[in-house]
Structure 1
Amino acid sequence: MQIERLVQMVFYIAGREHVTAKELANRFQVSTRTIYRDLNTLSLAGIPVMSAKGTGGGIFLLDGYTIEKPLLSREEQQNILQGLQILQASNYPNAEITLNKIGAVFRHVLKPEWLEVDFSFWGSDEKEKVTISELQYAILNKHLIAFDYFNSELQKSCRTIEPLRLVFKSHAWYIIGYCRYKQDIRTFRMSRMKHIHVMPETFQRELPKDYSLLPEYKEEDQIPVFKLKFSRAIAYRLFDEFQENQVSLCEDGDYLVTIRYQLSNWTFNYLLSFGKYVEILEPEAARIMLKERALEIAGLYP
C-alpha cells in the first residue's frame, strides 16, 4: 500500500542522518526505481527530502523539519485512519502497528463523515434519528444521553446513562453504559431506545477493563437444556444464530441444536420466528408451552 509505505518512509528517514535508495528498497521490499518515485511524491507533497552524492551523502530530511507538517490532506488522513480502524477491529495483521504510526503524524481530531448509521425504523420522525457520529461524540466526550427504553415486554422507562461503548453484536447495535436509574452498568439494545438525546452534562466514569458483554449464569444448572430439531430448509440461519459446538447434523439431514434457555416469553417468541422449521424435542414443558402459543395464534384465524 503506497500511502502506508510513504508514511513509514518519512519516519525511517527522520530517524537516521542519511539513508541510501538501496537501503530503502531493501527495507520496504520494492525496487530502487519505486523508491525514487516515492521520494518524488514526497517532495511534491511538501516533504523536504534532500539527497547528496559522494562520501557521507545519501537521502535525508532538511534540518529542522518536523513530521507534524501535513503529508496528506485532512480528508485523506481521515480515510486512512478510519480504514485502519476497521482493519484493526477485524484483527487484520499489523493494522494496530500501522495505526499507531499514522496516529503519531495526524495530530488533530478527526470526525467520521463517511459513515452514517440510522438506528430509527423506516417511517420514523426525523427527531428520532440518531447518527453514529452523535453517539461517538457522546462516548468520546463523556456526555450523558437520555432516552425512553422499551424492554422485551414493551414496558417503557425513562433512562439516563453514561455511555461507555457502542457495540454491534449478533445483527444488532447495543450501547453499554452506566444507568443512573439502576445504578449499574447495563446493556441497551438500540432498536428499543427512543427519543435519544445527547445532554450537555458530562461524566468521568470508564468501562472496567474486565467487563464482558456476555452474561454470567451463576445458576446455570437451573436453566433448562433445550434440544431443538431444525429443518435443513432453515440451515442458513443456524450458524448465524448459534455457536458451532451447539449444532450437529442428524442422520436425516436436519440439524440438532442443544442450548440452555429460560422458559420465558422471549424464548418462545424467538423460537416462533423459525415457524414450522423448528421442533422442540426437550424439555417436555417447553413443548407444551410452545404448542399452547401456537394454538392461540391459530385461534386468531378461525
Structure 2
Amino acid sequence: MRASRLLSILTTLQAKGQVSAEALANECEVSVRTIYRDVDALSAAGIPIYSVQGSRGGYRLLDGYRVRLNGLSSREAEALFLAGLARQAADLGMGAVAASARAKLLAALPEAMRAGAMKARFHFDAPAWFAEPETLDHLPAIADAVWNQRPIHMRYQSRTTEKERRVEPLGIVLKGGAWYLVVQTHKEIRTFRVSRISQMAVLDERFEYPKNFDLEAYWVESIRRYEVDLHPNRADIRLSPWALDMMEELLPPFVRNGAVISEEADARGWRQVSVSVGSMAHAAMEILRFGKDAEVVGPPELRAEMASIVGTLAKVYDGECTPRQL
C-alpha cells in the first residue's frame, strides 16, 4: 500500500510541479504527517525532492529530474493520445510507436482486461461515412514541424487557386476523418486541409509559439464562426410529419439546433419551420433533400429558386430535354 502511495506522490509531483503537503494528503487519502514521512523516505532513497517554504510552499522535484515510472519512452508518451486510433497514428508516422505504447498499457491492465475485454467492447472509428481515404503523404513531416516549432513552406491548392505560403504550424486537428493544419501567418491564424497541400518543405529554423494560443478553443470558435457565416439568412418552410422526423438526418446540426417549429399543425400534420440558410442555391439543394415533403413559404427568391430547379427537373423527367441540353 505504501509503495503505491510513494509512486502516486512521485507521479503527482512530476505532472504538476509544486504541490502542497495538504494537497498530497487529500489525493492519497492519508494524513499530512504521513506525507511528511513518505517524502522523507523518498529523499532517503535518492529522489531529489525538496520543500519550498512559505504560505504558497510545498514539495517539488529538482528541475529537470524525470523518472519513467511507466516504462514509456518520450515518443510513446507523445503517441499515447492516439493509442485507440491505429490508422490515424499511422497517418502521423507514429504507427509503430503507438503500437508499442498500447502493448505497455496492455501489460499494465488487470488480467481480465488483458484478455481482450476492452477491445471487445470499445472500438474507435474516426473517419466519416462513405468517405474515401485522403492522400496524406506530408502529414508525418507536418506533425514533426508542429512538435519542433519549425516553419513550413508549402504549396496549397484551394478550390479556386494554388498558392505558395510560408506558415508557422501551431497544431493539427482530426475532424470527421479529415486532417486540418492550424497555422500562424504574418497576419492571422488560419486553417488548411492537409490533403490539399501538394508540396511542402520544413524550414531549418524555429519560431516562437504564441503563449496565449489555445488550439481547442480556437477550433471550437472557428467551427461556430464558419457555421454562422455559412448560414446568414432565414427561410420558412412547411414540413410533413415524415420530414419533421427526418430533420435530424437531413439537416446540419447548426441548422437543426436553431430551427423554430410552430406549435400548430394543419389537418395533415404539417408544421411551419424557420431555419438558417446560406445562399438561395445552397438552401434549395438542402430543402430538396426532403423531396415532396417540404414546401418553401419564404423568402420569395427562395421559392423562385425552388420553382426553377423543380421546373427544370420536370422537363428532364418528362423527356423534353436531357441535363446536357440545359
- Indicate how the Cα distance of structure 1 residues 266 and 85 shifts in structure 2: closer, same or farther if over 3 A, else same: farther
Query: In the alignment, is residue 200 of structure 1 matched against residue 207 of structure 2?
Result: no
- 1:9 is displaced (CA, Å) by 1.7
The normalised TM-score by structure 1 is: 0.52
- In the alignment, structure 1 residue 235 sits paired with structure 2 residue 217: no
Other-structure match for 1:160? 164
- Length-normalised TM-score, structure 2: 0.49
Unaligned runs of 5+ residues in structure 2 are: 49-61, 85-91, 100-124, 320-326
SS of residue matched to 1:9: helix
Q: Report the CA distance between 1:131 and its aligned residue.
A: 7.0
Amino acid at match of 1:9: I
> What is the aligned-residue RMSD (CA, Å)?
5.4
Pairs within 5 Å for 1:34-45: none
Measure how far apart 1:247 and its partner are: 3.9
Aligned match of 1:59: 41
Structure 1 residues 247 and 203, CA, compared in 2 at 3 Å: closer, same or farther? farther
Preserved CA contact (<8 Å) 1:138 1:145: no
**Cα distance per residue 1:212-267 (max 9 Å; x no partner):** 5215989x9xx54222345123132347242634343643465723325333x444
Aligned residue runs from structure 1 range 109-188, under 5 A: 112-113=94-95, 114=98, 122=132, 128-130=135-137, 133-140=140-147, 141-150=150-159, 155=160, 157-161=161-165, 162=167, 163-167=169-173, 174-177=180-183, 186-188=190-192
Q: 1:196 to 1:232 in 2, by over 3 A?
A: same
CA offsets per residue over residues 94-119 of structure 1, 9 Å max, x none? xxxxxxxxxxxxxxxx9854499789
- Once the 2 structures are TM-superposed, how far is the Cα of residue 282 of structure 1 from its aligned partner? 1.4
1:289 shift after superposition: 0.7
Contact 2:127–2:176, Cα closer than 8 Å, also in 1: no
Q: Can you list the C-alpha shifts for 1:244-299, whole angstroms capped at 9, x where unaligned?
A: 34343643465723325333x44433444454454332101111112212333444
Q: What fraction of aligned residue pairs are identical, expressed as a percent?
A: 17
**1:262 paired to 2:279:** yes
Provide the secondary structure at the position in 2 that maps to 1:73: coil
Aligned length: 233
Deviations 1:130-158 (A, max 9, x none): 475444334443323323222xxxx4x21
Q: Name structure 1 gaps, 5 residues minimum.
A: 36-50, 87-109
Matched residue, 1:251: 264
Q: Is the 8 A contact 1:78 1:111 kept in 2?
A: no
CA distance, structure 2, for counterparts of residue 80 and residue 7 of structure 1: 21
Q: Secondary structure at the match of 1:269?
A: helix
